[in-house]
């Protein structure tokens, strides 16, 4: 256990997955909103917009990875075996 880990008393396994799902849904919605309001390459804020969309995409991938580590599945994927999850959570 690292110096920043704790044993969660109120965040059980299902609560953690539910939290990750909510974060993924929020990030996907924001990504969609940004794509709806896509800027043209010549726009003065295009680079800012592009960096934000790419960073958000990376965050969505990170959240999906964590969700799978907690045994969650997306679509028709098979669940990941949870060998290295702290206290089975």
**Total domain count, the chain:** 1
82: in domain: no
User: Distance between alpha carbon 33 and the CA centroid of its chain, in Å?
Assistant: 17
Distances in whole angstroms, Cα of residue 72 to Cα of each of 30, 56, 88: 22, 21, 14
86: in domain: no
58: in domain: yes
Domain range for 67: 13-72
pLDDT of 7-20, one tens digit each? 999 999 999 999 99
| The predicted structure's pLDDT at residue 1 | 75
pLDDT of 27-69, one tens digit each? 999 999 999 999 999 999 999 999 999 999 999 999 999 999 9
Higher pLDDT, 69 or 87: 69
| Nearest-10 Cα torsion for 54, 63, 11, 77 | 160
């Amino acid at each position: 256990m690292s110096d920043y880990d704790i044993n969660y008393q109120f965040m059980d396994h299902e609560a953690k997955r539910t939290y990750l799902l909510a974060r993924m849904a929020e990030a996907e919605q924001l990504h969609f909103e940004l794509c709806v309001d896509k800027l043209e390459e010549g726009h003065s804020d295009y680079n800012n917009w592009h960096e934000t969309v790419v960073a958000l995409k990376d965050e969505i991938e990170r959240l999906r990875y964590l969700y799978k580590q907690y045994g969650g599945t997306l679509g028709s994927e098979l669940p990941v075996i949870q060998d290295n999850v702290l206290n089975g959570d």
